[in-house]
Chains A and B, each alone.
Chain A
Amino acid sequence: MTDESGEGTVATTEPHVERAIERAEEHLPAEMTAAPPGLLPGELRPHPTPVQYVLVAVVLVVITALEIATSYTEGTIPDGLIVVLLLGMAFVKFFLVAAWYMHLRTDAPVFRRFFILGSIAAIALYLVVLATLHGIQSG
């Protein structure tokens, strides 16, 4: 409902209108309705605390140290195993930053879905480029 100038909304106290709005809101997805107190729209749970952020950073540092140590084992363990270990550790770091620092674990699932879709598209593009470069080098 708009006022006479056509700008802005006018609050209504009509009971049947309010009941209709309440019924409509019941059918909306949770992430589209108003956020709970203290949260922004799109957030399902509160963000981590600074202490949790620091703990995640400690885990990231430890994994990075393990990655670098693993890269120095070249020649002592099979290259295939090194590649699997390094990609696994990179995935864990990627997951930790995306889930905890980018808040994908506490935000509405729609953001997570967009992120995963984009990541899959980026990996597919990378593999195509890699295959193309490999083809150029062997040709």
Chain B
Amino acid sequence: VFNIPFTSVTSFILLMSSLTMVLALAAIQRGELRRFRIWIMATALFGATFIGGQIFEFTEFTREGLNLHTSTFGSSFYVLTGLHGAHVTVGIVWLISLWGLAMQGRMTQADSERVEIAGLYWHFVDVVWIVIFTVIYLIPK
């Protein structure tokens, strides 16, 4: 039922969002606010692309007959990946709010610790996906 090439691409996008997140942090720590705004928005867009892919995947699986009540596997799959997706969505809102503050001139070099905390959340969401991708999608059933 899994489309490994498709999920690999969305996993790659989420992995790259961790890179743009640390580049955003490095930028604000150096006082480069324009670069910070670019990298933080890129991170949010990568996250949104990942969520778009997850919605597409859920829609396809439901069409093929796999839903929350189909089996233990269906319940585990949707709860695990759905909760992860919810956390990514919260992260996107967080990143966009930082971007919005930066656009209003309310984020400076002195606020880098706020970006670091958001980054820790974002990277944790990423490492959880590293485990989910391997355990759910790649390991032979």
Contact = CB atoms under 8 A, between A and B. Distances in A.
A50 B134 contact: no
Given A67-B138, A68-B138, A90-B131, A101 B12 contact: no
B113 to A, nearest CB: 6
B76 A133 contact: yes
Given A53-B23, A61-B12, A133-B76, A98 B131 contact: no
Given A61-B15, A97-B127, A102-B120, A50 B26 contact: yes
B81 interface: no
Nearest to A134: B72
B11 A98 contact: no
Interface string A94-112: 1001100111000000000
A133 B123 CA distance: 29
A94 B127 contact: yes
B130 A94 contact: yes
A94 B119 CA distance: 15
A60 B15 contact: yes
Contacts of A121: none
Contacts of B130: 90, 93-94, 97
A98 B15 contact: no
Given A53-B19, A87-B134, A64 B140 contact: no
Interface stretch (A3-11, A17-25, A78-86): A78-86
Contacts of A48: 22
B132 to A, nearest CB: 10
A101 B26 contact: no
A87 B4 CA distance: 17
Given A50-B23, A53-B23, A71 B76 contact: no
Given A67-B134, A97-B18, A101-B21, A136 B26 contact: no
B29 interface: yes
B8 to A, nearest CB: 5
Would you list the 5 A-B pairs with minimal beta carbon distance, nearest first? Answer: A90-B134, A71-B138, A57-B19, A53-B22, A79-B140
6 contacts: A61-B15, A90-B130, A97-B18, A97-B126, A102-B123, A137-B72
